[in-house]
Amino acid sequence: MTALAWIEERARSGRLRPLDAALAQLVAAHTDADDERVWWMLAVSHQSGQGHVCLDLPAAQRLFDDDCPWPRPQALPDPDGDIVGIPGDTALLIRDGERLYLARDWQAEAQVLWAIRARLPWRTLPGGVLAQHAAALFPAGHGDGLDWQKVAAMHGVLRPFAVITGGPGTGKTWTVARLLALRLLTARALDPHASLPRIRLAAPTGKAAARLTESLQASLAELALPEDIRAALPSEAVTLHRLLGIGRDGRPRHNAQHPLLVDQVVVDEASMVDLGLMTQLLRALPADAGVCLVGDRDQLASVEAGAVLADLCRLATGAYSPDYAARLAAEGLPVPAAAQRPEQDLVVRLTRVHRFGERSGIAELATALREQDDTALAALRQAPPADLGWLPAQRPEVLQQALAALRPVVQVAAEGADPAAVLAAFGRFRVLCALRRGPWGVEQFNQELVRALRQGGLAAGEWYPGRAVLLTRNDWALGLFNGDAGITVRDPADGSLKVAFATLDGAVRLVAPVRLPSHEEAWAMTIHKSQGSEFEQVLVVLPDQDSPLLTRELLYTAVTRARRRLQVAGPAGLLAQAARREVQRQSGLAERLLRD
Ligand SMILES: Nc1ncnc2c1ncn2[C@@H]1O[C@H](COP(=O)(O)OP(=O)(O)OP(=O)(O)O)[C@@H](O)[C@H]1O
């Protein structure tokens, strides 16, 4: 088989993206099909489709099967200034040391680096000013030792580029509320006549933005603040797309030429922000605007290439450079100091869980997965705390559990309850499948759930009250987006069937089924699609045997979607196996940050 026929065949069978094939063909048209640079273009583009920002030689040597018509590479390609360039060249691929990039990704990484570097020096505030204002916001007595939430809030005020990471319920949003108040209070203390900093809040998805708005408002309500400070606090979070004015064509309205009018941006769920979107955000900010990324480093990253939050967290050590440690000590916060680079000072990690009760199986399971702690996993399996349950990978039992949770919701819808109440009930439970296809995949599981509802007389015809759907396409005209989940209800106005969606401001939107963009059943969804959402109760369905798709990040994300009760269906031992499978996104960000 010729090299190009091999590429075409793989693209046809879905093992390469059409884009990968097209880029390789482009290089072949300029060289010839057997040229190794065709292979390199194919390899780098394919890696980008897998979420990697670049490719190194060891990863390249593991790519594709043995029937590949090119020999295994022995070295990265030499720059030729045209197809393969070095930084600064106009070429399709950029070789930077031992890494090969699509030129676009190298450039995006360079922009993130530049934006971070420009924000490395911390803000000048007289020592003690922060501590004085923080005293009222952080009453003493939150556990022993150093109050890391207080450190995180001061860090976010002091550092124009800050990262706050922590698992679910570690008080990130609680801290952000105080960080924002502190930013405003210290600005006013320094110059009572200057206008207060303009603050914007954003998140990568609508659901995450709505959640942030809700929990931030609850945290801010606890604070006693002067009227003008309260008025300057943002009242809502928006999606990053909306903040940047990104339209259907993917281009942002705000960019370096038309920057946002903002002094501080806080991005929640930042683990889901890919390199491309991060670059668009940083480009749209004025040079002196502060950036605070908040998220959970252990969650799945975005499906697009790059994982800036995780890269920066990997650089952090938990200790700080001596100068920065001394700066925090001047505010009464004696953080550990170590000889390290200032680029490693960007992150504060919160570890103490505040949300769950004394003993939370959900939190313990998340920690055991994160730490690959087989003993803790086995102990949780043997004697689970009240909020955690295990089911064997046996279909009837798993289906029965799912039906027990969803049947009452369908019944409420069938009884013609208020759409808001049906939507709220729908938001409380979800089945999360690790896989899409196969007997334990989301497609088959949904089919069986619907069949069981039909057999029980709760579903009839295509549309029935209680039918839950997940959109798989954007519809800009309707303002509905891929990943939005809705449930079918009776319209109180005329009794017709409509699909109810929650809007960002917490209202209910009713849409006729015929108007919906393409969609699928939604009682079960993939763990990937559940990112950014949380549910009171979650049933995680794992396959009955191990799969390379089961990774630590995937399971950690699934487990941390549950707020009150979690059930996991699957064979014993699968979690421990998956916990050892870590997704490492290839990127040069951390190394370039320390080197450039
Ligand atoms: N220091 C604290 N003292 C008292 N309550 C706290 C403290 N920190 C957080 N909480 C409470 O703990 C709960 C979880 O906090 P929060 O929502 O900020 O966590 P989170 O890290 O943002 O969680 P998630 O990532 O799951 O959204 C909230 O009810 C919050 O009010």
Q: Which atom of ligand 1 is nearest to the CA of 560?
A: 26
Residues pairing with 526 in the sheet: 433
Angle at 252 between CA 247 and CA 258, to 5 degrees: 135
Q: Which atom of ligand 1 is nearest to the CA of 176?
A: 18
- Give the residue, out of 213, 354, 538, 556, with the most ligand 1 atoms within 8 A of its beta carbon, to mutate for a pocket test: 354
Q: How far apart are CA 10 and CA 250, in angstroms?
A: 28
Three-state secondary structure readout of 310-376 = HHHHHHCCCCECHHHHHHHHCCCCCCCECCCCHHHHCEEEECCCCCCCCCCHHHHHHHHHHCCCHHH
Whether the Cβ atoms of residue 267 and residue 294 lie closer than 8 Å to each other = yes
pLDDT of residue 97: 92
Beta strands in 379-533 (DSSP E): 388-391, 429-433, 468-471, 485-490, 497-502, 508-511, 519-521, 524-526
Q: Which atom of ligand 1 is nearest to the CA of 212?
A: 27
What separation in Å is there between the alpha carbon of 219 and the centre of ligand 1? 8
- Structure-block tokens of residue 247: 């339209």
What separation in Å is there between the alpha carbon of 354 and the centre of ligand 1? 5
- Give the residue, out of 355, 535, 536, 564, with the most ligand 1 atoms within 8 A of its beta carbon, to mutate for a pocket test: 355
For the CA atoms of 499, 502, 507, 508, the dihedral, rounded to the nearest 10 degrees, stands at 10
- Give the residue, out of 215, 268, 309, with the most ligand 1 atoms within 8 A of its beta carbon, to mutate for a pocket test: 215
Whether the Cβ atoms of residue 290 and residue 263 lie closer than 8 Å to each other = yes
Give the 3-state secondary structure of residue 264.
strand
- Name the residue at shortest CA distance from atom 25 of ligand 1: 168
* Sign of the Cα pseudo-torsion (29, 33, 35, 41, in order): positive
Binding annotation: 166-173
Q: Which atom of ligand 1 is nearest to the CA of 211?
A: 27
pLDDT of residue 125: 86
The reported pTM is: 0.89
What separation in Å is there between the alpha carbon of 169 and the centre of ligand 1? 5
pLDDT of residue 358: 55
Give the 3-state secondary structure of residue 128.
coil
Listed in sequence order, the residues at least 6 apart from 328 whose beta carbon sits closer than 8 Å to its beta carbon are 151, 154, 155, 158, 320, 334, 335
Listed in sequence order, the residues at least 6 apart from 81 whose beta carbon sits closer than 8 Å to its beta carbon are 89, 91
- Structure-block tokens of residue 267: 């991005």
Whether the Cβ atoms of residue 59 and residue 588 lie closer than 8 Å to each other = no
- Name the residue at shortest CA distance from atom 6 of ligand 1: 354
The β-bridge relationship of strands 508-511 and 497-502 is: antiparallel
What separation in Å is there between the alpha carbon of 560 and the centre of ligand 1? 14
What separation in Å is there between the alpha carbon of 171 and the centre of ligand 1? 3
Whether the Cβ atoms of residue 283 and residue 311 lie closer than 8 Å to each other = no
- Name the residue at shortest CA distance from atom 24 of ligand 1: 168
pLDDT of residue 395: 85
| Ligand 1 lining (C-beta closer than 6 Å) | 142, 149, 166, 168-174, 215, 219, 354-355
What separation in Å is there between the alpha carbon of 239 and the centre of ligand 1? 21
pLDDT of residue 206: 84
What separation in Å is there between the alpha carbon of 209 and the centre of ligand 1? 16
Q: How far apart are CA 503 and CA 479, in angstroms?
A: 10
User: DSSP letter string over 17-38?
Assistant: -HHHHHHHHHHHHHS-TT-HHH
Q: What is the pLDDT along the chain (596 residues), one digit of tens a residue?
A: 677 888 888 888 888 899 999 999 999 888 887 888 998 999 999 999 989 999 999 888 888 876 777 778 889 999 998 899 999 999 999 999 999 999 999 999 999 999 999 999 999 888 788 999 998 899 875 566 899 999 999 999 999 999 999 988 889 999 999 999 999 999 998 888 999 999 999 999 888 898 899 889 989 998 999 999 999 999 899 999 999 999 888 899 999 999 999 999 999 999 999 999 999 999 999 999 999 999 999 988 887 888 899 999 999 999 999 999 999 999 999 999 998 899 999 999 998 888 766 578 998 999 999 999 999 999 999 999 999 999 987 888 999 999 999 999 999 999 988 999 999 999 999 999 999 998 899 999 999 999 999 998 888 889 999 999 999 988 878 888 888 899 999 999 999 999 999 887 778 999 999 999 899 999 999 999 998 888 999 999 999 888 888 999 999 999 999 999 999 999 888 888 998 888 888 899 999 999 86
pLDDT of residue 129: 86
Q: How far apart are CA 289 and CA 262, in angstroms?
A: 7
What ipTM was predicted for this assembly?
Answer: 0.98
Give the 3-state secondary structure of residue 433.
strand
Binding annotation for ATP: 166-173
What separation in Å is there between the alpha carbon of 172 and the centre of ligand 1? 6
Whether the Cβ atoms of residue 272 and residue 302 lie closer than 8 Å to each other = yes
pLDDT of residue 142: 56
Q: Which atom of ligand 1 is nearest to the CA of 269?
A: 25
What separation in Å is there between the alpha carbon of 356 and the centre of ligand 1? 9
Whether the Cβ atoms of residue 95 and residue 147 lie closer than 8 Å to each other = no
- Name the residue at shortest CA distance from atom 5 of ligand 1: 354
Dihedral pair phi/psi, residue 155, rounded to 5°: -55, -45
Q: How far apart are CA 223 and CA 177, in angstroms?
A: 9
Give the 3-state secondary structure of residue 388.
strand
Q: How far apart are CA 323 and CA 343, in angstroms?
A: 12
pLDDT of residue 393: 79
